Amino acid sequence: MALKNAKIITVTSVKGGTGKSNLVLTLASEFSSRGKKVLIADFDLYTGAIAMLLKVDNSGNIFNFAADLMSNTFDDARDYIKKYNDLVDVLPAPRDPRSISKIDVKYIDLLIKKLIHLYDIILIDTNHMVDAVKLVSMDLSNQILYVMTNDIVNMRNMKTMVSIYKDMDKDNFSIILNSALGNLSYNKYDVRNVIGTDVDYVLPKRTYNRNIQKNILEGLLPEATKNDEVIKKIVDDLLN
């Protein structure tokens, strides 16, 4: 099997519930429809939902990897991965949130580095907090996607994050305004004026999915044939 060298993409936000996990699943469906081998790594460790959303078992996970390495029973990084289909695998979040404080973040870095040669794309789902897990994920990433809605709190917090990036001279991030979940009051130009940088992509209202609860119960990735042109554009840009 030829060795790959995955492009690592972190999907994050400065506020909860902006549609990150849904975007991760949609991107996974689009990448895999183009024949890319994808790993979805769920690093929203406390409230991770990917295993549940795709109905894969979460018995092996990042916590077991750390435990096995420490007890010298580690064998193969693939033991902690669950297969969703031929092109999409999942690294689930730990089953028991109480186990998370016992995980040293260095294991996250180690496991991703052991898996990077098996995939074309590693999509990291995160929560909205800036903690050690997030910092490791960002460091590993080629590109960071911020998913935001257009409410005031979200815009103000995004402005702070944009200034931090500017201070660090980092520009490997894109801003995605999720209009499917926001309100109608502010458009991408208003958002730009508040946050101090351009919005790179807008997920339009038409991407609101009325059947999302039904899809969740089915445990399936969104159908790639239904992916919006904005999703296709994001994936084109990420592949270039």
Residue ranges binding Mg ion (CB under 5 A): 20-21
**Beta-carbon neighbour count of residue 235 at 10 Å?**
22
Q: How far is the CB of 44 from ligand ADP (least distance, A)?
A: 7
Write down the least CB distance from residue 49 to Mg ion, Å. 6
Residue 22 binds ligand ADP, judged by CB under 6 A: yes
Angle at the Cα of 174 (from 155 to 226), degrees rounded to 5? 100
Euclidean distance between CA atoms 28 and 9, whole angstroms? 11
Closer Cβ to ligand ADP, 104 or 223, answer by number: 223
**Residue number with CB closer to ligand ADP (15 or 114):** 15
C-beta separation of 148 from 176 below 8 A: yes
Print the binding letters for residues 140-179 with ligand ADP: x by CB under 6 A, - otherwise: ----------------------------------------
**Does residue number 219 form part of the binding site for ligand ADP (CB under 6 A)?**
no
Q: Which is nearer to ligand ADP, 64 or 179 (CB)?
A: 179
Name every residue whose Cβ is closer than 8 Å to that of residue 91 and which is 6 or more positions away in sequence. 39, 40, 41, 42, 61, 62, 80, 81, 82, 111, 115
Closest CA to 148 of 2, 47, 27, 17: 17
Given Mg ion, ligand ADP, none, residue 179, with its beta carbon under 5 to 8 Å by kind, binds none
Q: Is 215 in the site for ligand ADP (CB under 6 A)?
A: no
Nearer to Mg ion, 62 or 77 (CB): 62
129: helix, strand or coil: coil
Q: Which of Mg ion, ligand ADP, none lies near 209, with the C-beta cut-off 5 to 8 A by kind?
A: ligand ADP
Pick the closer one to ligand ADP by CB: 13 or 64: 13
Q: How far apart are CA 24 and CA 10, in angstroms?
A: 9
Q: How far apart are CA 215 and CA 209, in angstroms?
A: 9
List contacts with ligand ADP (CB under 6 A).
13, 16-22, 180-181, 207-209, 212
